[in-house]
């Protein structure tokens, strides 16, 4: 008589999910500061390029960098970008890496993080070249703060706040991931 289809008298243990080599139940998430920013004559404080890094392989430190890139003088402003197979510790531009939380791998592999971040507004055009009035001393056309459509601000007109990669990362992207329940605190 075959044992196929017979019920076992011993209780079955639930199977533990198998983990691929180099994967864990949580992926660490970092805020990266990279020393790649060109000097902005209208925004003199030193800035670092910022983005969100999800470490998918703790053995070699690889993961994906989620960030906005480009500049705020371009007609369309900055654009969203993902760099996969990125290893921040191998970058000569890495200034600082700060762990800000963790995510579950399913949110990464299902592209949920990508879906959230790529749908956020990116920094728009905020600067332009003053073609209206060249500098009287040099004759050059200086860079000025502009409205999103490229028009310059009028005398006394309130200028909108600067939004670059730093503000996008800290004021838009990280809060959006936390609000969606994707990015969890370290505790």
Q: Work out the pLDDT band at 187, boundaries 50, 70, 90.
A: confident
pLDDT tens for 40-87 read 888 878 899 999 999 999 999 999 999 999 999 999 999 999 999 999
Q: Domain for residue 13, yes or no?
A: no
Q: Domain for residue 56, yes or no?
A: yes
Report how many domains make up the chain.
1
Q: Domain for residue 129, yes or no?
A: no
- List of residues 6+ apart from 77 with CB closer than 8 A: 70, 71, 122, 123, 124, 125, 126, 148
Q: Domain for residue 145, yes or no?
A: no
Q: Domain for residue 146, yes or no?
A: no
Per the structure, the complete domain to which residue 99 belongs is given by 27-124+163-179
The predicted model scores a pTM of 0.83
In three-state secondary structure terms, 8 is: coil
Cβ-in-10-Å burial (0-12, 13-18, 19+) of 66 comes to buried
Task: Cite the DSSP H helix spans in the chain.
Answer: 105-109, 112-118, 165-167, 174-179
Q: Work out the pLDDT band at 10, boundaries 50, 70, 90.
A: very low
Q: Domain for residue 137, yes or no?
A: no
Q: Domain for residue 41, yes or no?
A: yes
Distance CA 97, CA 120 (A): 23
Q: Domain for residue 101, yes or no?
A: yes
Distance CA 84, CA 57 (A): 12
């Amino acid at each position: 008589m075959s044992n196929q289809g017979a019920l076992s008298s011993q209780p079955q243990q639930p199977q533990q999910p198998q983990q691929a080599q180099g994967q864990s139940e949580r992926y660490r998430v970092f805020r990266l500061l990279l020393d790649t920013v060109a000097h902005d004559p209208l925004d003199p404080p030193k800035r670092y390029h910022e983005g969100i890094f999800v470490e998918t392989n703790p053995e070699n430190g690889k993961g994906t960098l989620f960030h906005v890139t480009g500049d705020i003088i371009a007609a369309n402003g900055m654009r969203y970008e993902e760099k996969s197979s990125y290893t921040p510790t191998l970058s000569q531009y890495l200034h600082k890496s700060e762990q800000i939380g963790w995510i579950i791998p399913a949110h990464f592999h299902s592209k949920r993080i990508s879906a959230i971040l790529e749908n956020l507004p990116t920094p728009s055009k905020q600067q332009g070249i003053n073609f209206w009035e060249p500098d009287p001393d040099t004759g050059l056309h200086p860079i000025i703060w502009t409205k999103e459509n490229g028009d310059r601000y009028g005398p006394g007109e309130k200028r909108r706040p600067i939004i670059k990669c730093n503000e996008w990362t800290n004021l838009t992207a990280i809060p959006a991931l936390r609000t969606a329940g994707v990015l969890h605190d370290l505790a």
